[in-house]
Amino acid sequence: MLLQNLRKQTGQGVVEYALLLAFVVGIGLLLTDSGLGNSIQQVYARVAAALGGDSGGEKTYAQALAEYGQMSMSDLRNIDNADRIALDRAALMNLTRHFLGMTKAELKSILHQNPDARTDKPGLLLFDYDVVKTGDEEPNGAVVIRNRYNGGNEPDANLMVDWLQGNSGTEGNTYFDSNRQANTRYFFSDDTISPNGVFSNSNTPSGAHSSTVRANFTFDSEGRVDSVTTTVYRNIQNSQGKWERDKCEGLQDITVTK
């Protein structure tokens, strides 16, 4: 009797597995025929790229930095902006994960800003730079960005660039010369590579816009960072001397948590 029950249960398990497999295959064929399959594959690829895993040919941020860092703006815009936004988001998540678990004192020592002084938007400053040259100014021209660090109330830009790449920051790398300039861009999407600000706001004042990465932090009951929300802005002073800020497409409210 026991043997008969065991055979019956085993047989049921095989049948159930076969039915489930057939169902999954059928859904896969349905999605492919409807065109949804390609969309799902694209979403998977971009998420995998952001996580730095096997993305079916999609670039990780480190790979993109080597290929796109010195590419002219006009050539860079031939690459799908959605893919470039995904790379920028991956870099920002690399950067902000380093702050998770820090105390307010540790945060202040790195950012040179009081975490309690600015809890509203646009948040504490992580990285601040100008696009000086796009690589299109002359044949075989160089890309140049300039760190706006004034030595007073901003974090070490070299450390921030290390963290963007997923490095520990203990390597002692130097990315900016004595004039605070670098021949590599660290963001690739459309709204971050032009000196003239975002594309989406035709009403923004003309002229050179700075780029800033700003973050808001929340803390757990022990006073340690438990979430970081980051946004990239393009900024310019208007004729009244007030700063106007536009959020960069796809680089808004990017949150990492413990």
> Are the CB atoms for 49 and 42 separated by under 8 Å?
no
- Give residues with Cβ within 8 angstroms of 75, minimum separation 6: 135
3-state helix/strand/coil string of the chain: CHHHHHHHHHHHHHHHHHHHHHHHHHHHHHHHHHCHHHHHHHHHHHHHHHHCCCCCCCCCHHHHHHHHCCCCHHHHCCCCHHHHHHHHHHHHHHHHHCCCCCEHHHHHHHHCCCCCCCCCCCCEEEEEEEEEEECCCCCCCCEEEEECCCCCCCCCHHHHHHHHCCCCCCCCCCCCCCCCEECCCCCCCHHHHCCCCCCCCCCCCCCCCEEEEEEEEEECCCCEEEEEEEEEEEEEECCCCCEEEEECCCCCCEEEEC
State residue 54's pLDDT score. Answer: 44
State residue 152's pLDDT score. Answer: 61
| pLDDT over 70 (residue 32) | no
Band of pLDDT at residue 204, cut at 50, 70 and 90: confident
User: How many residues are recorded in the chain?
Assistant: 258
d(CA 61, CA 186): 9
State residue 196's pLDDT score. Answer: 87
Higher-pLDDT residue of 204, 196:
196
Domain boundaries, the chain: 2-34, 59-257
| pLDDT over 50 (residue 8) | no
Residue 199 exposed, middle or buried by CB count within 10 Å (0-12, 13-18, 19+): middle
pLDDT tens profile 80-98 = 999 999 999 999 999 999 9
Enter the tokens of residue 30: 């349905």
Q: Considering only CA atoms, give the Rg of the chain.
A: 24
| pLDDT over 80 (residue 183) | yes
